Structure 1
Amino acid sequence: KPKDCSDGSLEADGTQPKKEPDLVIEVGGQTINAHKSVLAEKSDYFKARLSRNILKVKGMSYKTLSTLIDYIYTSQISVSKDNVVDVITGAKILQIPCAVQAAMDSMSEQITPENCYEILTIAKKQRLSELKETAYRFMSDNFLQILKDPAVYGRLTGSERDLVLKKRMEGRKTLMVAEVNDVFDRVGSRPPSRCGSRPQSPLSVGSSEESHMIYCFSEAENDWRPLTVMPEDVNIKGCGICTMHNYLFVAGGISGYGDKGKVSDKVFCYNPITNRWAEIRPLNQARAQLKLVSMDGSLYAIGGECLFTVEKYDPRMDRWTMIAPLPKGAFAVAHEATTCSGELYVSGGSLFYRLLKYDPKRDEWQECPYNNSRKKSSDMVALKSFIYRFDVNREQGINVFKYNTIVKMWHDCASQRPGSHLPFRCAVIGNCIYCVNKSQTLQFVVEEENAYFVEEALKAPLEAKGVLFPFVLSLPEKPEKKANAGIL
């Protein structure tokens, strides 16, 4: 029976065709009746054959051609992994580029962690570069999930793995802050009220008044804007925070309040590309006031209150394993931790400052030289092969020291910033160390022969609560910006 596109089918503009079909298309021994003008509007193939009343189409099945003609009439495309190859190939033969894009968009919505490798394989075999790109992009957007699955990640080549991770790190590196709480409750503090007695999902998010926010800094607006609310299951008191593979990780901390406070082993991650939070494998040991850092694709949870143990998370194996503990009696609580040139550095000490280095190849901790300052520093960060240490002093302002990890020597940084400053925490983008607290954001720029504070401070998030913990994630460029960039 011939398919007749005049029955209930729509014109491309959504109206009923006003005239009878004037074209008979023969395909695979069957016929389809259609309107030349409607087909020519979206297909150069049909446009070039407007003089024909009967047209034989080769190189595709009746079913595929029906799908594409339905798309021309309705702008709706019906594709699945079973027919996507035929539909895209047919769309290219019939020169309907918008159908190729519509099929890609439809497949993008259908790709799952379970079928993404199968779709990638189809795309590679059929040389469908657009579909291949879509599959790689999905793997990149959901990297942690893919990394854990040997049926997907285990079958990717080395260059494909690099490509997927590289795509994940694209976008604009953006300074962000998370609102966290001091470990010590204020006198008379009460737990914030929850949203009545309604049931909460495992990672439910309350309203912004009672929840803790993550803000990101917009260079264009020179101001902070809210990015996401931290789920109420995340323990923002005494937790460890770091980034890896363009995810934010929050581990440990204290759940509950006052005497009912309980040290937690929970670990959460936030994906800025999908804007989703998830709970991942818990720590082997509950920890509060721990330090969380990432190095060479693994997370390290270091110490905690009265804990010397250290554990390492391998995201591919989805497993935490204990590694060499901090030397006994090192310090009750680590003050800062950072990584530099493939080694992990932890500082602390109550009577005097100590710096310890972890060598992952030997699985051992070593004592490093300490600098003259005996004070607890405001923060410590790595940039290239140096560790920068910031001390906040009421009389002297901010003193900056740097440790050369290659020659193992401390130097005073020439730069000082006088005045009264509140303690801050640091994050690095390029050659700039951002020093962030609730009153201002300082920029410390490191050049080849010089290092200095930028005179003018950036704003702080006005609405922010608690203590601000800065970090850096890459946010995907907005499509509008890409479009504008193309026009300019």
Structure 2
Amino acid sequence: MSFHSDKSEEDNGKDGKMYQPCSDSGLVSPKLTIVVGDTHFSEEKMLLIQSCDYFQALYRSGMKECHQEKIHLGCLRARGFLIALAVLRGEIPTLNEDDIVEAIECAAFLQVTQLTKYLIDLLDTDNCLLMYHTAATFGLMGLYHAAGLFIRDMFSDLEAEVRKALPSELISYIESLAPSVFVAVGAHVTCCEDKTVHAASRTVCYLDETGNSWKILADLPLEASTSMAGVTVLDNKLYIVGGVHGVHKQVVESCFCYSVETNSWTRISSPAQLRYNLSLVGVDGCLYAIGGEYERTVMSSVEIYNIKTGRWTFAAHLPRPAAGVACTKTMSRIFVCLWRPMETTEIYEYVSGKDEWQLITTLIRHQSYGHCMVGHRDNLYIMRNGPSDDFLRCLIDCYDLSSGQWSSLPGHFANSKGSLFTSVVRGDSVFTLNRSMTLEYIVDGKNWKPRRQMKGFPRSGSVWTFLLRLPEACMWQK
């Protein structure tokens, strides 16, 4: 991590040469010296104001500190502030237990949303109890809730440690949370013309892991199509965008949102560019409709739906037209796989701050392309078909976002009844699905180790899988 710090008392811009106009407080220096303990940090003032609620409030207050070139933060520790600066600059610092505590303290005191999100992204079975307890201590409620949800999902593995390490009130909060369940829906067209045909099979189902059986959660709206649609979950709501009906692949204009809290469907507005065979992913309160087709023409356009405003806006186009691309999110970042001839899979990231797609890495494998991608913390797992006669074998390669290195997972991840091109991460587990079985793997390092086998999803054709948290009062479950 690169930063500027020193032990001296020297100030930047004391002679006034570095001052620039500021509409609110007269002349201010573009740099600010922050003193934490006996360590001095020199940082861009605007970065701090834009990223930390503490500094926003300070410079809106009109207090004398607004005109000072040096501010003392006596209640923090230098390492925590250093970590905050690194995250604000887009770095990916590795944190030990002491670092985590100091980072949480800093995020809580300065109200650094970006640092809180970074800590949430780092949650795993090794640090979740520490993060949960520390976040409760410092009142960092976003991390407190996220860590509680993580522990709830991994409770069977962590219960003994939870009851030993946490006070009763923190355990009670975890137990009050709804665990996430594995949910699937098959590819179905609309039922507008004949409401009786296939209507009974048009259901969203969840896996009852205790009883090892699939149960119906909800029926699809008659006007909804999941055939070649975009399907995703955001903030515990299920969204369906686009899709087709009819032999001529007529695009479905209606889009829907399902709430488990009310067991009800509502319509949402359609993208400006109608599309099917798109990729849909949700991040930070927005849905991203990526590529797809319209009237059999493959598109590169991308649209973003803001949940709060209910509006779609266009974003930067994909580097080239693409339909049905493998897409995932991890570390609050969006990634897609694009294919090129000569057995090349390129992975691009959408950088929202710049509204552009950046090439991250390239994977070249003989007669093989990435068909599915899932993210687990700072690792991307790309599932691909095997070459030639081994097409039904599912092979997995891992790309480490921090180191920029590729590795291959040993073995293959399919059986004779179908290849694996769907997977969902829950905590430190991965759920995979085909008609014959549901397999749960534990992510150990970068490898997937089989944990248990459950009932497969008894539907033919494409299947969408995701996680939802079902409230205990789900009396409508069938």
Calculate the TM-score normalised by the size of structure 1: 0.56
Shift of 1:398: 2.7
* 1:316 equivalent in alignment to 2:308: yes
Q: 1:223–1:409: structure 2 CA closer, same or farther, 3 Å change rule?
A: same
Shift of 1:442: 2.1
Contact 2:433 2:457 in 1 (8 A): no
Segments of 5+ residues of structure 2 without an aligned counterpart are 1-138, 151-176
Shift of 1:281: 1.9
Contact 1:415 1:452 in 2 (8 A): no
Q: Who is 1:264 aligned against? A: 252
Contact 2:231 2:239 in 1 (8 A): yes
In structure 1, how many angstroms separate the alpha carbons of the residues matched to 2:425 and 2:456?
A: 17
Q: 1:272–1:354: structure 2 CA closer, same or farther, 3 Å change rule?
A: same
* 1:399 equivalent in alignment to 2:395: yes
In structure 2, how many angstroms separate the alpha carbons of the residues matched to 1:277 and 1:164?
A: 27
Q: Who is 2:156 aligned against? A: none
> Which whole-Å deviations, capped at 9, do the CAs of 1:181-215 have from their partners, x for residues lacking one?
59xxxxxxx989613xxxxxxxxxx6874551111
Contact 1:415 1:453 in 2 (8 A): no
Shift of 1:406: 2.0
Q: Who is 2:180 aligned against? A: 173
Q: Work out which of the residue numbers 201, 206, 223 in structure 2 matches 1:216.
A: 206
Matched to 1:440, the amino acid is M
Shift of 1:444: 2.5
Q: 1:416–1:242: structure 2 CA closer, same or farther, 3 Å change rule?
A: same
Q: Who is 1:124 aligned against? A: none
Contact 1:165 1:245 in 2 (8 A): no
Q: Work out which of the residue numbers 341, 344, 369 in structure 1 matches 2:331.
A: 341
Calculate the TM-score normalised by the size of structure 2: 0.57
Determine which structure has more spread, i.e. the larger CA radius of gyration: 1
* 1:442 equivalent in alignment to 2:439: yes
> Which whole-Å deviations, capped at 9, do the CAs of 1:205-230 have from their partners, x for residues lacking one?
x6874551111001110111111111
In structure 2, how many angstroms separate the alpha carbons of the residues matched to 1:350 and 1:159?
A: 45
> Which whole-Å deviations, capped at 9, do the CAs of 1:117-169 have from their partners, x for residues lacking one?
xxxxxxxxxxxxxxxxxxxxxxxxxxxxxxxxxxxxxxxxx999999999999
Q: 1:369–1:281: structure 2 CA closer, same or farther, 3 Å change rule?
A: same
Q: 1:208–1:429: structure 2 CA closer, same or farther, 3 Å change rule?
A: farther
Shift of 1:339: 1.2
Q: 1:277–1:449: structure 2 CA closer, same or farther, 3 Å change rule?
A: closer
Q: Who is 2:426 aligned against? A: 429
Matched to 1:475, the amino acid is L
In structure 2, how many angstroms separate the alpha carbons of the residues matched to 1:445 and 1:372?
A: 27
Q: Provide the aligned length of Structure 1 versus Structure 2.
A: 300
Q: 1:194–1:465: structure 2 CA closer, same or farther, 3 Å change rule?
A: farther
Matched to 1:297, the amino acid is G
* 1:326 equivalent in alignment to 2:318: yes
In structure 2, how many angstroms separate the alpha carbons of the residues matched to 1:292 and 1:434?
A: 19
Q: 1:311–1:167: structure 2 CA closer, same or farther, 3 Å change rule?
A: farther
Contact 1:211 1:230 in 2 (8 A): no
Instruction: Please give the secondary structure, in 2, of the residue aligned with 1:375.
Output: coil
Matched to 1:390, the amino acid is M
Contact 1:425 1:469 in 2 (8 A): yes
Instruction: Please give the secondary structure, in 1, of the residue aligned with 2:205.
Output: strand
Matched to 2:183, the amino acid is M
> Which whole-Å deviations, capped at 9, do the CAs of 1:275-316 have from their partners, x for residues lacking one?
101101221110110000011221100011211110111111
Q: Work out which of the residue numbers 430, 448, 453 in structure 1 matches 2:450.
A: 453
> Which whole-Å deviations, capped at 9, do the CAs of 1:161-182 have from their partners, x for residues lacking one?
9999999994110000011159
In structure 1, how many angstroms separate the alpha carbons of the residues matched to 2:324 and 2:224?
A: 21
Give the 5 Å matches for 1:470-481. 470-478=465-473
Give the 5 Å matches for 1:344-423. 344-349=334-339, 351=341, 352-373=344-365, 375-393=368-386, 395=390, 397-417=393-413, 419-423=415-419
In structure 2, how many angstroms separate the alpha carbons of the residues matched to 1:446 and 1:291?
A: 25
Shift of 1:332: 3.2
CA RMSD, 1 decimal: 3.2
In structure 1, how many angstroms separate the alpha carbons of the residues matched to 2:474 and 2:275?
A: 41
In structure 1, how many angstroms separate the alpha carbons of the residues matched to 2:147 and 2:255?
A: 25
Q: Work out which of the residue numbers 225, 231, 235 in structure 2 matches 1:241.
A: 231
In structure 2, how many angstroms separate the alpha carbons of the residues matched to 1:279 and 1:345?
A: 27
Instruction: Please give the secondary structure, in 2, of the residue aligned with 1:457.
Output: strand
Shift of 1:383: 0.7
> Which whole-Å deviations, capped at 9, do the CAs of 1:59-89 have from their partners, x for residues lacking one?
xxxxxxxxxxxxxxxxxxxxxxxxxxxxxxx
Q: 1:171–1:225: structure 2 CA closer, same or farther, 3 Å change rule?
A: same
In structure 2, how many angstroms separate the alpha carbons of the residues matched to 1:354 and 1:209?
A: 40
Q: 1:341–1:160: structure 2 CA closer, same or farther, 3 Å change rule?
A: closer
In structure 2, how many angstroms separate the alpha carbons of the residues matched to 1:159 and 1:317?
A: 27
Q: Which moved more, 1:439-448 or 1:428-437?
A: 439-448
Instruction: Please give the secondary structure, in 2, of the residue aligned with 1:282.
Output: coil
Instruction: Please give the secondary structure, in 2, of the residue aligned with 1:402.
Output: strand
In structure 2, how many angstroms separate the alpha carbons of the residues matched to 1:165 and 1:318?
A: 25
Segments of 5+ residues of structure 1 without an aligned counterpart are 1-157, 183-189, 196-205, 481-488
* 1:468 equivalent in alignment to 2:456: no
Contact 1:345 1:358 in 2 (8 A): yes
> Which whole-Å deviations, capped at 9, do the CAs of 1:441-485 have from their partners, x for residues lacking one?
12232023643233x5321133x35422111000112599xxxxx
